[in-house]
Structures are given as structure tokens and as C-alpha cells.
Amino acid sequence: MIKFFGSSAFVFVLVTGIQISVYADRGRVDEILVAAARAVGPAKEISKIRSITSTAACVGPKGAYSTTVVSFREDLTLFEQTYSYKDPLSVSINRDTVWGQKPETGKVVLLDAFQRMVARLHEYQKMAFEPRKFFKELEYVGEDEFAGRPAHKIGAKTELDIPAFLYFDTLTKRLAGYRLLIPNSTDTVTNILSGWNKVGSLTLPSMVTAIDNAGEWTLRFHSIRLNSADRRLLDVPPRVADQAELLRLHEQQKTAHLTHNSDLFVEMFAENLTQLQRGEISIRTKDENRMRFKSYFATFKFKEWENIRPPVISVSKDGSMATIAVQKRVRGTYKNEKGDVVEENVVYAWLEVWEKINRKWKVVTVASTERDGSR
């Protein structure tokens, strides 16, 4: 018994020591971030910032270009780059909705989460006092050298879980830059905040050097303006909102299949759904489809229900009709009449026709093709 209690006490001390260490690391991170914000300016002045508009003259391995970033304190961002050697780039972000314009057609289209992350990682001025808006799971690593200067090193992840390190100059207390660790590779992307300018009572990054395996880019911010941007600039266009909702419903289809939830799947159907498949046309009511998919989900065990390529979403000009073109691999098992387990691997390509009914998108027609997925 003495040994038992002694061991328990030892474990308690050990675990408590670990907890203290974790809390100390968190406290160290908070201390470093608070000091970095103070190096930008007084907290009262930072709290007055509603937007930051910054424009940089840039040079990269392929030539000259310009970058404009409009950052709002909310999760709204406008990121634009104009190049001397290729089409311009524009990324608009309103929280989780991201869109841009196709240069060749002028059409506004949804963009993906990776493009959102890349655009937001150019918000150097906002990042200087609010790094937690861009990185998560911050942990103190220790002391290191960054860009030839002593720095505090903090481990982190981007919004897409890409590993990163943040560096804070131990002398100036400012954010010195960050380094991304490219997954499944030894490559890195390093951004060095190498110049700072006074903007009113604040000191903000004015020069950034970015380095990756393709070369070096220099961004010289010649204009930084506070509270001059109009938030309405990033109101989500109606067609983009429709595309985003249709993409959400597309993801809901996946959830319904993988959780065998026929109600969740059929709720997005019109009262009568027309299906074209194997040379036949069938029209089923919502209740008929519910029973059909309830039976299907009860017998088929999904191993995979994944897009082979991103869905192609098109919305009519008046926002009343839309199509979604899908190519998907479906793998799973089911039992045949003999009770034997059968493996199935099929590639489907289908076109969904959607109609906005009582302000909600509903599938009205599906035309489907399929082939053996093992080829």
C-alpha cells in the first residue's frame, strides 16, 4: 500500500508538472503575441482599425507585378495582383465564401479553400497584431534565429492544417515572419517582414521578402491606409451566393450517403424527380425516392464516395435554374441474393438540374452515366 500511494503521488506530480509546463507554454505564447501587438502601437489605436488597404510594387522571378490587399477586422479580404507577364488575379473573401473572376470569360466563380488561405496569408499588416486570425494551435518552441536575427519560435498550423512556424524578433518584439512546411515535401515557403513604416500612430510592415523553391519575391508597400475601405465592397454577389449554397448541398449529398441518411438526401429533391439512366426515363415522387434510398442505404456499405474532380456549377442569369456536373468514384460492398459480400467500384458521371422553388434549391432532373471503376 505504501508503494501504491507513493506511485500515485509520483504520477500526480508528474502529470501536474506536465500541466504546469503546458500552461507555461501557453502563457509564453500569449506574452509574445501581446508584445508583438504593442510593438505595432497602443491597444487603443489598434482597436480603432476597421480596415487596412495596402498596395505594393513587387518583383519576382518572372518579372514585375503589383499587389493590393484590403483587410477588414472581420473575416473579409480583397486580394488583387496585376502582372506584367500573365492575367490578373482577384480573390474576394467574405468569411467562408470565396470568389473571383475568370479573366477569359469575365464570369464570377467560386474559389476554393486553398486560394482563400493563400490570399489571407498576404495580410501582413493585420497579421502583425492579430496572428491568431491566420494561424491556430500556437505552441512555444523556443529560441531560434530567423533572417539573421534572434527570434522566439512558435509552432502553428494554417487554416488548412499546414504546419508552420512563426518568428518574433526578440529585440523589437515584432513579428519577423513565418515559414510554411509543405506537406509530403522538404520544401518550405518563408515570408520575412523586413521593413516597417509609421502609419499614423502605428508601425506596420512595409516590406516583405517571400522565398520558396521557385525563387524570391519582394513586396514593397508604398501605400498603407487605415479605415478607408467600404465593407460593401465584399458583399457576396447573388450568383456567388447561389453557387455557394449549391456547393453546400453537394457536400450534404456526401454526408447523407456516408451516414446512410435517406431523409437528409431526399430533402433536396423536388416533389417529382426525373431521372435519365440506362436508356430509360423515370419520374418518382419524393416519398418514392425516400423509400428507394432508405432500402439502398440499408444494404450498401460505402467505403468511398469522393469527387474525382471538383463539381462544375453553373447558375442562370436570373438565378432560377442551375446545373451541377459531377464525376465521382463510389466504392463499397453489398450482399447478393446468395448472401455473398460483393465488392463494387464504379465511376459515375452525372448532370443535376436544379430549380429554385420557394427560394430553395431543389433537384428536378438527374442524367447519369457509369463505368467500371477498376479500369
Q: Give pLDDT tens digits for 21-71.
A: 555 677 999 999 999 999 999 999 999 999 999 999 999 999 999 999 999
High-pLDDT (> 70) share of the chain, %:
93
Q: For residue 163, give every residue at least 6 positions away whose Cβ sits within 8 Å of its Cβ, in sequence order, or none.
A: 155, 156, 157, 180, 181, 183
Mean local confidence (pLDDT), 247-264: 96
For 286-312, the pLDDT digits (tens) are 999 999 999 999 999 999 999 999 999
pLDDT given for residue 338 in this prediction: 84
Enter the pTM of the model: 0.83
Query: Are 122 and 69 in contact, with CB atoms under 8 Å apart?
Result: yes
Multiple choice CATH, 12-234, 2.60.40.420, 3.30.70.1530, 2.40.50.140, 2.50.20.10: 2.50.20.10
Return the domain boundaries, the chain: 12-234, 238-372
Q: For residue 74, give every residue at least 6 positions away whose Cβ sits within 8 Å of its Cβ, in sequence order, or none.
A: 95, 231
Is the pLDDT score of 10 beyond 70? no
Of the candidates 64, 62, 152, 76, the residue with the CA atom closest to the CA atom of residue 119: 76
- Sign of the torsion formed by the C-alpha atoms of 38, 40, 42 and 48: negative
Mean local confidence (pLDDT), 130-134: 97
Mean local confidence (pLDDT), 204-219: 97
Q: Which fold is adopted by the domain 238-372?
A: Nuclear Transport Factor 2; Chain: A, (3.10.450)
Q: For residue 58, give every residue at least 6 positions away whose Cβ sits within 8 Å of its Cβ, in sequence order, or none.
A: 64, 65, 66, 67, 81, 217, 218, 219, 220
For 232-244, the pLDDT digits (tens) are 999 999 999 999 9
For 161-204, the pLDDT digits (tens) are 999 999 999 999 999 999 999 999 999 999 999 999 999 999 99
Confidence band, pLDDT 50/70/90 cuts, at residue 11: very low
Mean local confidence (pLDDT), 333-339: 87
Query: Are 21 and 29 in contact, with CB atoms under 8 Å apart?
Result: no
pLDDT given for residue 23 in this prediction: 56
Confidence band, pLDDT 50/70/90 cuts, at residue 3: very low
Residue 133 CA from chain centroid, whole number: 13
For 95-130, the pLDDT digits (tens) are 999 999 887 777 888 999 999 999 999 999 999 999
pLDDT given for residue 1 in this prediction: 34
Q: For residue 47, give every residue at least 6 positions away whose Cβ sits within 8 Å of its Cβ, in sequence order, or none.
A: none
